[in-house]
Structures are given as structure tokens and as C-alpha cells.
Amino acid sequence: MGLLERFRRWIWKVEEASNELEYSAIEAIDKVEVIADEHTGGRVGRALEAVEEESRELAQRVHLDGPDVDRSEPPSTTSD
């Protein structure tokens, strides 16, 4: 097995581990949301939905939702 093949296998393993961590984090966040909703009578869920909707609307208003948007760097907040 060549060096390149070993490197590819290592990258694949790292990517798999990263995906597992991401899914675990998402599941944990979902569980916290359910518990918080249970304790607040659904207020947390409604608040999160409202924030999501407002952020979508804001992204549309400032044109940050299109496929041609460069997401590699955050937009500049200073005026030149």
C-alpha cells in the first residue's frame, strides 16, 4: 500500500469521525430542545421557530440566500 493510499484512508477515517460527532451534536441539541419545550410549555420551540423565520427573511432582504453568494468570508461591516 502506497503512501497516497494510506493518506486517503486516514482522511476517510477522519471524515467519518467528524460526521459522527456532528450527528451526535445535532441529536444532543434536539434532546435539549425537547426538554426545554417540556419545561416551558412549548415557548422555547416557538421562539426558535420565530428566530429561524426572521433570520431567513433577513438573509433574503440582504441577498445572502442566493447560490452566487460567496460564503467563504463574512461580509464586511465597515464602509470604505
Buried residues in 4-38 as b, exposed as e (16+ CB within 10 A): eeeeeeeeeeeeeeeeeeeeeeeeeeeeeeeeebe
Neighbouring CB atoms inside 10 A of 47's CB total 13
Total-model pTM: 0.54
Domain range holding 49? 41-65
Q: Does residue 2 lie in a domain region?
A: no
Provide the domain count of the chain: 1
Q: Does residue 60 lie in a domain region?
A: yes
Q: Does residue 4 lie in a domain region?
A: no
- CA 74 to CA 72: how far, in whole Å? 7
Q: Does residue 9 lie in a domain region?
A: no
- CA 68 to CA 62: how far, in whole Å? 13
For every one of its 80 residues, what pLDDT tens digit does the chain have, with 9 covering 90 and above?
699 999 999 999 999 999 999 999 999 999 998 999 999 999 988 998 999 999 989 988 887 766 665 656 655 666 54
